[in-house]
Amino acid sequence: MPKSERSKVEVEGFEAKYYDQMMWILTLGQYQRLIRRAVKDTGVKLGDHVLEFGCGTGIAAVEFAKLIGNDGRYVGLDVSEIMLEKARKKCRDFKNFKFLNMRIEEHLPFENEFDVGFMSFVFHGLEMPDRIAVLRNAFKALKDGGRMCIFDYAHFDVEKSPFPVKYFILNIECPLAAEFIALDLKDLFESVGFTDYTEKLYAKGYLRLACGSKR
Ligand SMILES: C[S@@+](CC[C@H](N)C(=O)[O-])C[C@H]1O[C@@H](n2cnc3c(N)ncnc32)[C@H](O)[C@@H]1O
């Protein structure tokens, strides 16, 4: 049962079982390529330790695997056992990869141990107190100098966007998505202690990779 009725990011049942196929159709086959670009743009390096919040079926995990190599470490957190099973299967050959069933806004047992935190298409569907809790968890889990990156919708005027975009955000996405799009993410990152905020835009400016550093 999703924690908030305004959220659709807790994927269950049919949607969880066919998540990869649905994302393929929804993005006309572009989802893996988009995630690949975002993962590369986090600046992750060989040997890095990565913590992913809401890792889903492991789409980003396989991209991190190509970049961190055997000396790196990856931990993916998700609340859906169906999604986690798919991720474990995709990454079964990577011995340095672990997938754990944990709620990302609750207490996490990680402190000063990761170089990169990553989250894609989860943040927009969280209520504000949970967004702050996740960012605090990320801040605590990162090493000094580590970087948290969120890949999600960009900041734009939904009302003035082309009809298909406006229709998708207001009718198909969760109500929390429109609220997220109007948010100042830089302020939010800085409110929990992150510095050096950067944003990179994708998909005609409708998506962004927002990153902040722990220093
Ligand atoms: C829309 S999917 C995105 C999955 C993946 N990041 C991607 O880009 O393909 C959202 C994921 O976040 C997970 N999720 C949602 N809320 C969560 C929470 N509070 N704690 C842990 N995982 C959560 C869901 O189970 C789902 O796998």
Gap from CA of 16 to ligand 1 centroid (Å): 10
d(CA 133, CA 106): 7
Using most ligand atoms within 8 A of CB, pick from 63, 78, 124, 135 the residue to mutate for ligand 1: 78
Instruction: Please give the domain boundaries of the chain with CATH numbers for all domains.
Output: 13-213 (3.40.50.150)
Phi, psi (rounded to 5 degrees) for 53: -100, 115
Residue from 79, 84, 88, 136 whose mutation best tests the ligand 1 pocket (most atoms within 8 A of CB): 79
Alpha carbon distance 191, 115 (integer Å): 20
Contact 81, 148 (CB under 8 A): no
What SS3 class is residue 213?
strand
* Residue 164 confidence class, pLDDT cut points 50, 70, 90: very high
Please tell me the pTM assigned to this model.
Answer: 0.96
pLDDT in tens, 81-116: 999 999 999 999 999 999 999 999 999 999 999 999
Ligand 1: which atom is nearest the Cα of residue 3? 19
pLDDT tens digits, 29-57: 999 999 999 999 999 999 999 999 999 99
Q: Is the pLDDT of residue 26 over 80?
A: yes
Residue by residue, DSSP assigns 17-61 as HTHHHHHHHHTTT-HHHHHHHHHHHTT--TT-EEEEES-TTSHHH
Q: Minimal CA–CA distance to 91: which of 117, 51, 58?
A: 58
- Kindly give the number of the ligand 1 atom that is closest to the alpha carbon of 105: 19
pLDDT, tens only, 61-81: 999 999 999 999 999 999 999
pLDDT of residue 7: 78
Ligand 1 center to 36 CA (angstroms)? 17
> Whole-angstrom Cα distance, residue 208 to residue 1?
29
Q: What are the phi and psi torsion angles at 168 (to 5°)?
A: -60, -50
41 to 37, 58, 119, 137, 180: CA distances (angstroms):
6, 18, 13, 22, 22
Pocket of ligand 1, beta carbon within 6 A = 9-11, 54-56, 59, 77-80, 83, 103-105, 120-122
- The CA–CA distances, whole Å, from 125 to 28, 40, 54, 116, 151 equal 22, 24, 11, 21, 13
Task: Name 147's bridge partners.
Answer: 116, 213
